[in-house]
Chain A
């Protein structure tokens, strides 16, 4: 867990410089038993869409084991009056695992970092039982005070206190889909509109950005449906683009102007409606969010650039 910018720590923490001196190396991987053997899914990024790496793995059929090898070459650097805790005390590594979509969070101890001049190696494994995961799952590794025998002023004085300024390691697992999809469904209404946008969230930071909370829905019986949905021509792509821009504009307007949410807040839930809005505002460089006009004009300008690049004259 990270200390939020708005919180001031009254005790000494492990900053990047100290972390570098301690020389910590991490080796993460995912494994599961596919019925015949242990299958390894390599982790080469901090965000892993599991089915993009391994189509075989299924949340209902397989467990999933997260493995993290941690080697700490100079653990003694973390101890002492001038560091973060007394030489009498003990530091540990823990992992906070949470997922709003899977409805759980918990913290598990990973291992103890003894005060020694020898290097220390911790081999951590955590098994998610099958049928327990949904949506996105987040794992955050950090150093904490595991045992206290001596208190030193300006050092953490309670067991369980978090000592890393930034997490040692963050991992995001995308269990369902590729995590980048705009929630879209279809409906059938003869003589109805081509599309509609529905809002079901109550609190934008509490609601996952999925079709249960916000839903862009296309009418399958509309004469333009096939063209808009599957069309490869420039005009059909422009039409779809325009629908997306309108949908995004309306969502941003609702979240920022109507509901007055703060996108600068530290505690934005990663996969929430608010996080999606924050992402769009940053990606599309919407500097002025005070009116629906500036929001949709900026979006349109960016979209146009993206849409027109890489489109051949034959379209």
Chain B
């Protein structure tokens, strides 16, 4: 009976995929959803590639998955992946469905699946990746993720015991999941060009993951990312098996130390979070067995898609648009930090309200008080525009953060944001937007660019 259900799910999923493609759709969610509806254990039954790499974590998993896919393609592989679609169970099912033949066996040797960390229970036991990269664990939407320790407990519970882990040594939370699993670590030494560390409101790893006593940070990069130790039980952050020890921004090279031997790789981008993504990808590929030379050659050709970052110089101004991820305080804080580090006078447009809550509910704005709006209170941030339905909450948050009232502009509708930017006061304008507000952000950005061109 179960075999029949699986065959039916496979056939229905394949038909749905075919029909949707005819209609010009990506078919990266619904076919998998349909297959799972017909056969709930479809993910367990569908064929997997011989080598399957999972990538999960709060931030960076899409970039790392894409890098791994591109590098593997460069090595002549044809990886099955969900890069064009969903990272929950239906997305994984759709990807595996596409790679499967009519018998359900996988026709590809290698796969890279981005896996939503909150969906661990539904994906990991069924898919059983051979390798799993965990980029980091931060607090994210409280509605979905509760808190990072909860997500870590899910990973602990559902990561298959045979999966080899590739973990961020500089994250005391994610580096301690599934302690019995075989693992390697990646990490980054303090780099000379890093800006001074700002105090964050949120440091989620304050207590020892082993004994629960307070830990001391020897070096803290941001939030709980850094190296720490516990004086009570002796726990220390692990040293990276793949440790980025230097990065030359001018030459565009990063040096990774591995077993006392260093290897140079091309840096795909020089922001610290991109370096974490890059060294995670290197660690994964080395663990699988690719040589440093192969990886270095692959990274020479690697193009990181900068869909989340756009910058242009227009007349006397520099205009920058960055995806900031609403409801995700750490991702927003990283961008506030980036803005604060930019030299010169600047205006910041905040388009951070949750799209779905705006339509049907009322957004839980607690996350605003975990995000470091204090970084925007520095002298050279001459204007902050709180845009959207939650503009009054954002204004209050900015005031509490210490942003003077006369630097805050409240704009209720995105269409009015560009006109409200005071271009006479600043040389740089930043548009920070929530993922699902990209269209709005582009509209605002284009309107600001137009004003800059006409000025």
Do A and B assemble together? no
